Structure 1
Amino acid sequence: MTLETLSSGVDTIWVVLTAAMILLMEGGFALLEAGFVRQKNAVSIIMKVFVDISFGALLFYVVGFALMYGKDAGGWIGISGFAMKGDLSHLSLNISTDTFWLFQCAFVIAVISIVSGAVAERIHFRAYIVYTIVMTGLIYPISGHWIWSAGGWLAKLGMVDFAGSAAIHALGGFAALAAALFLGPRIGRFADDGRVNIVPPSNLPLASVGAFILWFGWFGFNSGSTLSATNPNIGHIAVTTMLASAAGSAACILFTILRYQKADPPTVINGALAGLVGITAGCAFVSDGAAILIGAFSGIAMVLATEWLERRRVDDPVGAFAVHGICGSIGTLAVGLFAVPSLSANAGLFYGGGWKLLGVQALGLAVVAVWGFALTWGALKLINMWRPVRVSRDEELVGLDVGIHGVPAYSQEHDFLDIERLKTEQ
């Protein structure tokens, strides 16, 4: 066995394992969202996660990977590698193309899962399947090509996004905002007199376990993006990831105590995720101290963004836009401020790099945000011409578990006859 073969084998094991960690995050999304929504909609959350994984993987295999990483055409799109066939020789990797596809497939599944939470409790299942196909086969791969493909126009400008604060989280967050606005709020969420009616989470312990699983998987998300088990920066990436997430959670604990006189559990849960989203772009390029600042700022910004959305009567059941859209934006811009010369080819503003990197980061963020929002709105508009994107009033009131899927999350013996009656009436 040659040294090159051994190196490739070790890197392959590393990438496959971290890809599996990212895929496990879907279990985290499922538990987090199921815990945040009402009990009558828990099954609908699980079904959407299965759609994310199954349709997302298939579409990314057939179409998405080629558009994202295929041979570049003018910096805008890839044109080879459909169904993993054709010329992919331009990908200079120490791992096989199949291994690289698996890792990137885990990313695309995470993107659509962000939108899933924002449309919870009111989107029709069939419409969600179609939107998943559009997001994983078209929206994400094209903008991903701009940032992460060597020939992408934003990459050529020098945009830096190590593991996806912009490419994944800002894109998914602004797509989630568009979807939430398009669907409108859940019945009874906002009163006519402007009051905000609180919808209590059905199971906070379940949601917290989901957050812990996401927290665990994020080490695969960030550290795995090295694509190499021998990269000396893996330890630093893991440390900045941990510090930012801890700072996001700690900031939310202290901020909610000062603001509400009580530490708010759902906010603290989302605070940890906010810190993780915020550090994803710069985890390999910023110092430990900067990671703490980014995480803490992301956590507080998430709280303020959630309140802002409520004042404008935007219903986002799990805080997808506040966590991913806002904190993904913060993380993208933070690279332009805090990138350390010894860790990054381009230094941030606070380290003598001037305004160039920050300007490129801001441009890339704006483009991705508009792309995700506009394409999502347009896709849902077209889908709505085929069939209503939102479920009927009766289906929403009875809950999507029984109304759409014909089964409750938690069955009792006396429920069986009622379920059969509802199926017959449909």
Structure 2
Amino acid sequence: MDAGLFTANNVWMMVATALVFFMHTGFAFLEIGLTRQKNTINILFKNIFIITGGLLLYYAFGFNLMYPGFEEGDMGLIKFAGFGIAAPEGGMTAEYASGGYTWWTDFLFQGMFAATAATIVSGAVAERIKIVSFMLFTIVYVGLVYPIVGAWKWGGGFLESWGFYDFAGSTLVHSVGGWAALMAIVLLGSRIGKFDPNGKARAIPGHSIPIATAGVLILWLGWFGFNGGSVLSADPALTSLVLVTTSLAAAAGGFGAFILSTVLHKNLDLTMFLNGILGGLVGITAGADLMSPNEAVLIGFMAGLLVVLGVAFIDRLKLDDPVGAVTVHLICGIWGTLAVGLFGDKASGAQFLTQLYGVLIIGAFCVLTSGLILGTLKATLGLRVSREEELEGLDIHEHGMDSYPDFRMNQH
């Protein structure tokens, strides 16, 4: 491989890394926009902790747990290559990763993915979780659970040998976060006032839909790195296709959610439109490199429909998910993973069953581990803030700060 091509590949991977990093801005904006003003600093603090803590954990042991170098004959379940990081011999040359990028770029790109799973949980538990309990959960889940699951496929483990396919993480990132989010909202309970005495869900409006909208657009942009970088080189044909399928699925997801929510609820709900876009993005992520434009539109549109139906289903279960994280990341993540067996280059009955087995195994592991971590925290430190803290807002009680002090003073 000539030096120019190797450099071009590596530069694209570094750009993709920066785009995935930028997604954390999108997650933060979406989450604060869809929740109340009195909890803004709390949410921002959690998001900053996730990216800083996640990167340090990935450096300390996560990367070597996720890419341990399984050998022939290993079961492909769990292996650890040691603490800390150091580039192997040849890690800065075209001999590494088929000339797609250097070892350092590999570490940083994968590190940006690692924190995303915990960010998904952050939105679901917003406005009522104790911040120390959330931080401890993040440390264990991002530090241990996410890399172990990642190793099963991306690290060359048993799911890889089975033929399970997940291009950029519909299951390995989004469902891993989604399962934990589901367990967390079951154990936490709903926010005060979310359900009336008859159990009917009431809307608790977010304090800034413009900020939430900006968050979704930033996430869409970041997905060019999330999926486009998962090509693992600057291969012109494949990278271009992935960006097209990603964008078409996002657009179709938005349309699917907007149309169905309008038919069902007789109003043009922007939040459903926004979550539909995210559902389309999550849905295409498992097979973005395998799909034609037509298939990408179909997968995205179906994901948009699932968002609307999923939000209603979660409400019917009397579960409170302020940002729709379980619907977008878990339900659409499962759909996208199964869609690999239904559409595109790998579609077959056998592939569908392999995808299904992967979803079920990872789901069982994530439910078990997240339930254990959260259950232990609930029994010891407690998961939920007091009624007074929840009503007055976590910003004042947990941080001693106000996100918009001038605005509040002017209101009085």
What is the CA distance between 1:381 and its match in structure 2? 1.4
Question: What is the aligned partner in structure 2 of residue 145 from structure 1?
Answer: 151
Give the TM-score taking structure 1 as reference length.
0.91
Secondary structure of the residue aligned to 2:199 is coil
What is the CA distance between 1:12 and its match in structure 2? 1.5
Question: What is the aligned partner in structure 2 of residue 323 from structure 1?
Answer: 328
Q: How does 1:84-163 map to 2 (within 5 A)?
A: 84-85=85-86, 92-94=97-99, 95-150=101-156, 152-163=157-168
* Distance (whole Å) between structure 1 residues aligned to residue 102 and residue 87 of structure 2: 15
**CA offset digits 1:51-72 (Å, max 9, x no partner):** 1111000001111111100122
Which residue of the other structure, out of 184, 202, 217, is the alignment partner of 1:179?
184
Which residue of the other structure, out of 41, 44, 51, is the alignment partner of 2:42?
44
Matched AA of 2:272: T
Which residue of the other structure, out of 300, 311, 317, is the alignment partner of 1:306?
311
**Gap change, CA 1:36 and 1:413, over 3 Å in 2:** closer
Matched AA of 1:202: H
Question: What is the aligned partner in structure 2 of residue 374 from structure 1?
Answer: 368
Question: What is the aligned partner in structure 2 of residue 223 from structure 1?
Answer: 228
What is the CA distance between 1:86 and its match in structure 2? 8.4
Matched AA of 2:271: P
Give the TM-score taking structure 2 as reference length.
0.94
Q: How does 1:17-416 map to 2 (within 5 A)?
A: 17-72=15-70, 73-85=74-86, 92-94=97-99, 95-150=101-156, 152-340=157-345, 347-349=346-348, 355-412=349-406
Secondary structure of the residue aligned to 2:319 is coil
Secondary structure of the residue aligned to 2:400 is coil
Matched AA of 1:84: I
CA contact (8 A) 2:87 2:103 kept: no
Mark the runs of 5 or more structure 2 residues left unpaired by the alignment: none
Secondary structure of the residue aligned to 2:129 is coil
Matched AA of 1:278: G
Say which is worse superposed, 87-96 or 36-45, in terms of deviation: 87-96
CA contact (8 A) 2:174 2:282 kept: yes
Matched AA of 1:54: T
**Gap change, CA 1:194 and 1:386, over 3 Å in 2:** closer
What is the CA distance between 1:415 and its match in structure 2? 5.5
* Distance (whole Å) between structure 1 residues aligned to residue 77 and residue 259 of structure 2: 44
Secondary structure of the residue aligned to 2:342 is helix
Matched AA of 2:79: G
Say which is worse superposed, 176-185 or 371-380, in terms of deviation: 371-380
Is residue 11 of structure 1 aligned with residue 9 of structure 2?
yes
**Gap change, CA 1:66 and 1:88, over 3 Å in 2:** farther
**Gap change, CA 1:66 and 1:93, over 3 Å in 2:** farther
Say which is worse superposed, 379-388 or 94-103, in terms of deviation: 379-388
Secondary structure of the residue aligned to 1:208 is helix
CA contact (8 A) 1:70 1:88 kept: no
**Gap change, CA 1:144 and 1:311, over 3 Å in 2:** same
Runs (4+) of structure 1 exceeding 6 A deviation are 86-91
CA contact (8 A) 1:80 1:88 kept: no
* Distance (whole Å) between structure 1 residues aligned to residue 81 and residue 375 of structure 2: 30
CA contact (8 A) 1:81 1:87 kept: no
CA contact (8 A) 2:253 2:301 kept: yes
**Gap change, CA 1:81 and 1:16, over 3 Å in 2:** farther
**Gap change, CA 1:393 and 1:85, over 3 Å in 2:** same
What is the CA distance between 1:209 and its match in structure 2? 0.3
CA contact (8 A) 1:178 1:374 kept: no
Secondary structure of the residue aligned to 1:77 is coil
CA contact (8 A) 1:278 1:294 kept: yes
Matched AA of 1:393: R
Say which is worse superposed, 38-47 or 384-393, in terms of deviation: 384-393
* Distance (whole Å) between structure 2 residues aligned to residue 275 and residue 11 of structure 1: 27
What is the count of residue pairs matched by the alignment?
403
* Distance (whole Å) between structure 2 residues aligned to residue 261 and residue 88 of structure 1: 62
CA contact (8 A) 1:80 1:86 kept: no
* Distance (whole Å) between structure 2 residues aligned to residue 402 and residue 101 of structure 1: 38
Secondary structure of the residue aligned to 1:401 is helix
Matched AA of 2:332: C
Secondary structure of the residue aligned to 2:191 is coil
**CA offset digits 1:128-166 (Å, max 9, x no partner):** 11111111110100011101122x100100011100001
What is the CA distance between 1:384 and its match in structure 2? 2.6
CA contact (8 A) 1:59 1:137 kept: yes
**Gap change, CA 1:86 and 1:30, over 3 Å in 2:** closer
**CA offset digits 1:352-377 (Å, max 9, x no partner):** xxx11111000001111122222111
**Gap change, CA 1:196 and 1:8, over 3 Å in 2:** same
What is the CA distance between 1:413 and its match in structure 2? 8.3
* Distance (whole Å) between structure 2 residues aligned to residue 110 and residue 133 of structure 1: 13
**CA offset digits 1:230-261 (Å, max 9, x no partner):** 34211111110111000010111211221111
* Distance (whole Å) between structure 2 residues aligned to residue 97 and residue 238 of structure 1: 24
What is the CA distance between 1:184 and its match in structure 2? 0.8
